[in-house]
Copies of this chain bind each other. A is one copy, B any other.
């Protein structure tokens, strides 16, 4: 195992000082072309690669962005992680990805680990309200999708997006609707529910009233399936004609429940999700859902990080409705 070449080796080979080597590495203009060339030649000859650890120690800066998601096995966050990585790559940065398994403890741990490694910034899709971090952090932190502590948030305009679904279902004639909500202790859960409920109420004030029942759950498949099973066990004339869910995973779980109970979707029951994960267009029937602008969210989050501003403002990006086969006009 050969020792890796260092700036010193390069300097010797090129017949200059290490300072000069460092300067051409940094791309400083102020190096005479003749020397610069000698250095670059030496670098090539030796196969020199800068030691990022030494550089980090010296400058206490790196080119890595820390990313924390609540659960990497959640397709939405997997997609998000991929998009963040692309956005970072475009700026020649690397991302370190950590999954908190929805555990605030793990989340805290990962934040510390990132801080310890002097990442240049952290993006976190929170699984908790976030602890009270010291106000004088050395690096910027951005909340993504789910707010972490009181750091600036880049997210879909959940309320707006959810209201789109309310419009859609109401427009199809549904008046008895069940809403499978996200965890009430998450901002995104509350926002989506609120956007959905408010719009439906507004609609009900000027038109036919809506019979809406809310069932809080978690964002995963299991939760959606369980809740739907309960909801759909009501007598046919009591049960909702449409179920809206706070996530695609819940909606897919609901699809599963409907199938088990031999309830035809969308003929007897409309089901809608939220997120537009890649699976949404593959389930049978294809899922009507709200599309979160994942790429845009990722771009903006990374941009905010580079803005360096510790006083960035929240950014909300509108979602859009994707009508597919799982919703249809009410038919009774």
Query: Among residues 79 to 96 in chain A, which have CB atoms less than 8 Å away from a CB atom of chain B?
Result: 79, 81-82, 85, 94-96
Q: How far is the CA of A125 from the CA of B285 in the complex (A)?
A: 33
* Given known A-B contacts A53-B117, A116-B51, A252 and B75 have beta carbons under 8 A apart: no
Q: How far is the CB of A299 from chain B (nearest CB, A)?
A: 17
Q: How far is the CA of A218 from the CA of B72 in the complex (A)?
A: 23
Q: How far is the CB of A286 from chain B (nearest CB, A)?
A: 8
CB neighbours (8 Å) of A52 from chain B are 116-117
Q: How far is the CA of A291 from the CA of B259 in the complex (A)?
A: 24
Residue of B nearest to A135 (CB): B1
Contact B136 A278, beta carbon cutoff 8 Å: no
Q: How far is the CA of A56 from the CA of B99 in the complex (A)?
A: 24
Q: Is A31 interfacial (CB-CB < 8 Å)?
A: no
* Given known A-B contacts A97-B97, A282-B221, A53 and B51 have beta carbons under 8 A apart: no
Query: Among residues 205 to 245 in chain A, which have CB atoms less than 8 Å away from a CB atom of chain B?
Result: 221, 225
Contact B49 A116, beta carbon cutoff 8 Å: yes
Residue of B nearest to A60 (CB): B53
A residues near B, CB below 8 A? 1-2, 49-54, 56-57, 60, 71-73, 75, 78-79, 81-82, 85, 94-99, 101, 112-113, 116-118, 136-138, 221, 225, 252-253, 255-256, 259, 278-279, 282-285
